[in-house]
Chain A
Amino acid sequence: MKEIDFLPEWYKQGCLQQKKHREFYIALGLIVFIMAAWSIFANGRVVVVKARNTTLRNAKLIQERSETEYNQADGEYRQLKSRCKILESVKSHIVVSNVIAELTHLLDGGIILKKLEIKAELIPEQSGKTGIKVISTASGRPTLSEKKVRFRITLAGLAADAAQVAEVINRLEQSNYFFQIVPGFSRNTITGQYQASEFEITCYLANYRLAN
């Protein structure tokens, strides 16, 4: 049995058309909605990024002011460092009064000191590690500046006998002030009516060794 459709064709076509129109408008509306939503979202994102940018710029401004302070401090630090280096290169590294005091302490009553010589001398390159330095100037004469020096001390005097000379050498070796004690000579001599022992000892100021 065949079903009979009583609805007219123009009515069915109209319904279909209306449905298509509805879908079309919905699609259009959806596109417009997506554009509007994205626009709001994107604008919001730009606002957030802008706010962060402003915060960072403000922080940079504050830090720039502090950086000026840092640069000033850095400049001062560098200047002081260079001054410190200059002072280090020209200072003596010897306290003569301390050397005299130590020698007076070490040499007892039986010893007469006739000569004391303290002389700065260049340290050979391979062993040079002390603080005093020497350079050559235009005149070729060495002056204290770039290369390193040590202090050689020469003692010459009279002792009652050779045993006292040995005692002097021993005391010098025990002292923290001196090292590399080298006896130059020790010989008997007549001083007035008395026989004495004449001696010469060479040593170095120990700060050179201690600096090593």
Chain B
Amino acid sequence: MQKIERKQFVMSIAVVTLAVAFILLQYLPLDKKTKSLKAANTRLLVENTAVSARLEVLPQMYKGIEKIKEQVGDFDAKIPVGRSHGLFLHDLTSVMQKHGLSELVVQPGAETETTACGLSQIPVRIRCKGKLVQIFRFFKALEGFERIIQIEEVGLTANDKIDGDVTMQAKVNIFYRTN
């Protein structure tokens, strides 16, 4: 009788030890692992959702890029890196000569920095003489230049004889980037 009770006691101790071992070695680590994995999953889900949302606008963004690319065109040609004003002045004079204008004066002024856009500006004074139609064609050609030409002032004055000859004076600005 006493022998059996001792056996029960030993078994109880064994079961309690097993239960404690189970809680310490199985339950708590597994619970901790599950919680940490669940937290990681939630974080990943949030991150993935954010990335998915951004990726959803990607096709729209590509469309926007294409649209702006069309608007911007060849930016390096419009506002080159470095002055390149020699080439511009050469082209300008060529166009004036091509359209039969006379008494050509093309005079670049002192350049200034337009700090807002990080661009440098070269003012150019143009003076020439010709018929109105020639001046019209000259401006038409000027508008076809790839480089941005900002018109600040244009003056056309007929000569005193009123024989159709017009003196044109203009002040334009061209721009370049330093970097």
Contacts and interface: CB of A to CB of B under 8 A. Distances in A.
The yes or no verdict on A and B being binding partners is yes
Interface residues of B, number: 69
Nearest to B113: A137
Contacts of B121: 143-145
Contact of B11 (A28, A38, A87, A120): A28
B61 interface: yes
Contacts of B140: 97
Interface in A1-57: 17, 21, 24, 28, 31-32, 35, 38-39, 42-43, 45-46, 49-50, 52-53, 56-57
Contacts of A67: 51, 54-55
B48 A137 contact: no
B86 interface: no
Given A53-B37, A89-B116, A96 B139 contact: yes
Contacts of B27: 38, 42
Given A21-B8, A101-B136, A96 B41 contact: no
A145 B31 contact: no
B18 interface: yes
B104 interface: no
A113 interface: yes
Contacts of A21: 4, 8
A74 B60 CA distance: 11
Given A92-B149, A145-B116, A104 B132 contact: yes
At the interface, is chain A mostly helix, strand, loop or mixed?
helix
B8 A17 contact: no
Given A42-B34, A116-B156, A145 B44 contact: no
Contacts, number: 188
A115 B158 contact: yes
Contacts of A46: 30, 33-34, 37
A101 B142 CA distance: 15
Contact of A114 (B135, B143, B158): B158
B105 interface: no
A123 to B, nearest CB: 15
A90 B132 contact: no
Given A49-B38, A70-B54, A97-B139, 5 more contacts: A24-B8, A73-B62, A116-B157, A119-B152, A143-B114
Interface of B: 1, 4, 8, 11-12, 15, 18-19, 22, 26-27, 30-31, 33-34, 37-38, 40-41, 44-45, 47-48, 51-52, 54-55, 58, 61-62, 64-65, 68-69, 71-72, 75, 78-79, 112-117, 119, 121, 123, 132, 135-136, 139-140, 142-143, 148-158, 162, 173, 175
9 contacts: A31-B15, A39-B30, A49-B34, A49-B37, A73-B62, A97-B136, A101-B136, A104-B136, A144-B173
